[in-house]
Structure 1
Amino acid sequence: MDAQGFDWLLVPLHQLVSWGAAGAMVFGGVVPYIPQYRDIRRTQNADGFSTYVCLVLLVANILRILFWFGRRFEAPLLWQSIVMTGTMLLMLKLCTEVRVASELSARRRFFAAADNKDEEGKAPPRRPYPDFDPHHFWHWSSFADYVQCVLAFTGAAGYITYLSIDSAVFVETLGFLAVLIEAMMGVPQLCRNHRHQSTEGMSVKMVLMWTSGDTFKTAYFLLNGAPLQFSVCGLLQVLVDLAILAQAYAFACPRPKPAPHTAHPASAKAL
């Protein structure tokens, strides 16, 4: 039987593989955050996860959605950005609730120790979104403030894009910024780990899934002829993931203890 006789099987199989790859592209980016989300819910501690990861991904995916209006890339990449935006908002909601509850609990213990019943139930001071103190940026005490910030950024970026959509230079720059910022996704976690000299509270499963997902995504970009910016920054993203895994391995390995100081034999004889 010639090859044409298998067309009835090959064509649906090829279509099925294409759908599977598209589904993996859309939802695969969400999967790494499931173990981190569950760890935070279980321990009620979000200190090990850098919420700046959410900030980077929100900015990158909003810019990528706007880039689509200027250059219509593949639909799975657009839906991936929409799904990832929702996922990051869910992560921020959980982290904010856990952090505020932890601060309130610590304050209650403090005032109980001071035996000041009037202050015992007082919540920590609220840090609103319009507060432009850089020390408080992205450390607000209400999830609504994060939503307001994201909406304000989306509105401003969308208005600028609407005015400049006919400029090819602007559109290409927008696409490059989107993928470059996304490639820096792991940098906040990398810096947080280095600052604390620990990866405690960070889900290693999440980073392993980052690495496998970003590798798959980069290969997808290359094989499907996505814009060059996507492929280059995807490779950069894989390198950052590998650096975080190297950190986790280095901090997990026990450090050798210094050898005990022993007196020189000649000194011992003299004594």
Structure 2
Amino acid sequence: MPITYNYFGAMAVIESSIKWIASGAMVIGGVVPYVPQYRAIKKSENSDGFSTYVCLVLLIANQLRIFFWFGRRFELPLLLQSIVMIFTMMAMLNLCVNVQSMHDLTSRRRAFIDFDHRYFWKWTRFSDYVQAVLMFTAIGGYVTYLFNDSVIYVETIGFLAVFTEAMLGLPQFYKNYENKSTVGMR
């Protein structure tokens, strides 16, 4: 019996495979630039060259994108990308806090619950960052629940997500300016 080759069936499999690969690349593509940074911080045990405000910007932008998704659905890989990026930024924060605590000789601890604006996003425990993210998620989720039917609200959230992510370079630029160096940044 001769082997028949179904050209259209094979093309459908190839097309489907390409879509899955592209979706997977989209989901993890945003994380890839932070892998060398994570490794460098872990190896050197020094996070001075990396601005944790980059994590703040990405956490806010990706949470806003998730809130936007509830008002106006977009592709699932982009939603998954936001979720993966949130976990990645939390991992980066955890590493930075652990590294900074190893070298911090002061006994003064700064906490989220202190509500001291001078030390915002400069807390000494990772749990404080988790609390801040959870509070933003709870408040943002509730407000999104209340105003999810408002086109103006949903579009504003979408704009703020894109605008916030577009400002991603500013915290690192400022950190480099303060340090007068790019040492420690990948």
TM-score relative to the length of structure 2? 0.94
Larger RCO (CA under 8 A, 6+ residues apart) = 2
Q: Secondary structure at the match of 2:112?
A: coil
**Aligned with 2:183 (options 173, 193, 200):** 200
- Residue 159 of structure 2 is matched in structure 1 by 176
- Residue 102 of structure 2 is matched in structure 1 by 101
Cα separation, 2, equivalents of 1:17 and 1:186: 32
Alignment of 1:1-271 (within 5 A): 6-104=7-105, 124-203=107-186
Q: Secondary structure at the match of 2:128?
A: helix
Cα separation, 1, equivalents of 2:93 and 2:180: 24
Which structure would you say has the larger Rg? 1
Cα separation, 1, equivalents of 2:114 and 2:56: 17
Identity %: 56
- Residue 3 of structure 2 is matched in structure 1 by none
- Residue 116 of structure 1 is matched in structure 2 by none
How many residues align? The count is 181
Cα separation, 1, equivalents of 2:180 and 2:46: 18
1:160 Cα deviation after fit? 0.7
Cα separation, 2, equivalents of 1:17 and 1:174: 32
Specify the code of the residue in structure 1 equivalent to 2:67: L
Cα separation, 2, equivalents of 1:193 and 1:7: 54
Residues 194-232 of structure 1 deviation map (CA, whole Å, 9 limit, x = unaligned): 2222100001xxxxxxxxxxxxxxxxxxxxxxxxxxxxx
Q: Secondary structure at the match of 1:158?
A: helix
Q: Secondary structure at the match of 2:104?
A: helix
Specify the code of the residue in structure 1 equivalent to 2:175: R
Cα separation, 2, equivalents of 1:131 and 1:152: 14
Cα separation, 2, equivalents of 1:45 and 1:33: 15
Kindly report the root-mean-square deviation, in angstroms, between the aligned alpha carbons of the 2 structures: 1.1
Cα separation, 1, equivalents of 2:19 and 2:120: 42
1:31 Cα deviation after fit? 1.3
TM-score relative to the length of structure 1? 0.65
